[in-house]
Amino acid sequence: MRKGRSPFQDAPLPGLDEAALPVIKPETAEPHYHGHRDRLRERFVVAQGKLPDYELLELLLFRSIPRRDVKPLAKALIARFGSLAEVLGAPVARLKEVDGVSDGVAGDLKIVEAAGHRLAKGGIAKRPIFSTSAALIDYCRSTMAFAERENFRILFLDTKNGLIADEVQQTGTVNHTPVYPREVVKRALELSATALILVHNHPTRPTSITLDHAQAH
């Protein structure tokens, strides 16, 4: 038999309407969530601080998970922990309990948390800490309100109420931490601090912290 082109190779099947065949999109078609990402980024430029927590979290997750719709994960994290601040403050082990949070995602969230702490500390160090009580409370909440153990923290101030140092002196259990006055006074003298703010958190009430102010003589 002579080799060559089959007479049936290009012949249409009887009764087949080719125009009615479904259009098969190539695998390289852009996923549906790409348009959502662009729109959300545009909204952030316009609204910024007015975006809800889950949408800000989405923006963070875009970098960690570039090829997946991250809105369900963002909403799941907010539902689990309560707010963006609590998501960022959650321990890595608890973050990874949420389906979809890998080591890389958890690590990226903790980097954002560390950057936020550094930003808050840098901002408060450049002005008197008592310029507003709200600024002081916001700073303390951002650095320790969501810790799993009770911490005893000391803010050492100069004569103008500027921040000299912010140190965690003791870490205790979920409802108790020891305080050693001798160590507090010793450290205040080492830093030549003229005033102290003593802070401790309440792990059973994540949004609650206690502040006490003392003058050093």
First to last CA, the chain: 111
Indicate whether 37 pLDDT > 70: yes
Instruction: Point out the least confidently predicted range of 17-31, 100-114, 138-152, 168-182.
Output: 17-31
How many helices (H) and strands (E) the chain has is answered by 8, 4
Q: What is residue 170's three-state secondary structure?
A: strand
> pLDDT (tens digit, 9 = 90+) per residue, 8-31?
455 555 555 555 555 545 555 556
Indicate whether 100 pLDDT > 70: yes
Average pLDDT over residues 177-183: 77
CA distances (Å), origin 65, targets 37, 82, 101, 109: 12, 22, 10, 12
14 or 196, higher pLDDT: 196
Do 156 and 167 form a contact (C-beta atoms < 8 A)? yes
User: What's the CATH code, domain 129-215?
Assistant: 3.40.140.10
Look at residue 6 in the predicted model and tell me its pLDDT.
Answer: 54
The per-residue pLDDT of the chain, averaged, comes to 77
Q: How confident is the model at residue 116 (pLDDT cuts 50, 70, 90)?
A: confident
| 34-117 CATH, one of 1.10.10, 1.20.5, 1.10.287, 1.10.150 | 1.10.150
Indicate whether 32 pLDDT > 90: no
CATH code 1.10.150 region(s) in the chain: 34-117
Model-wide pTM > 0.85: no
Q: How confident is the model at residue 41 (pLDDT cuts 50, 70, 90)?
A: confident
Look at residue 89 in the predicted model and tell me its pLDDT.
Answer: 84
CATH code 3.40.140.10 region(s) in the chain: 129-215
Q: How confident is the model at residue 118 (pLDDT cuts 50, 70, 90)?
A: confident
Q: Which residues make Cβ contacts (< 8 Å) with residue 137, sequence separation at least 6?
A: 209, 211
Look at residue 105 in the predicted model and tell me its pLDDT.
Answer: 95
DSSP codes, 195-213: EEEEEEE-TTSTT-EEEEE
